[in-house]
Amino acid sequence: MSNLDIPNAIGEIAMRMLMIILNSEVREEMEILLKREGVEGYTEIPDVRGYGSTGPRMGSAVHPETSSVIMVLLEDTKLTELLKTIDSYCTSCKQHVKIVHWPVETV
């Protein structure tokens, strides 16, 4: 176990699930960013439809845009740095990205 690995109450490495919701047009840029930051894997749900702070994203003729959801499972110790990197990306390219994360009890 390295000094960066922080065990949880039952001796396992503490993990977080990170859900990134972003405009589908910049999905590939986020994938490159994640790989550059050492993320070894993720799950992607393309062409997500819904309504939120950026308006309707329905993939229709009237509202053609869609979002994508990228889910990343990572060690708790890596969360803060990855969030800073994503925030920097969003600020520099003016992209609206929503991020939600929660603890993972079982992997």
Mean pLDDT by 10 residues, the chain (107 residues): 47 87 92 94 95 90 94 94 91 84 88
**Can you give the pTM of this predicted structure?**
0.83
- Please state the separation of Cα 62 from the chain's center in Å: 28
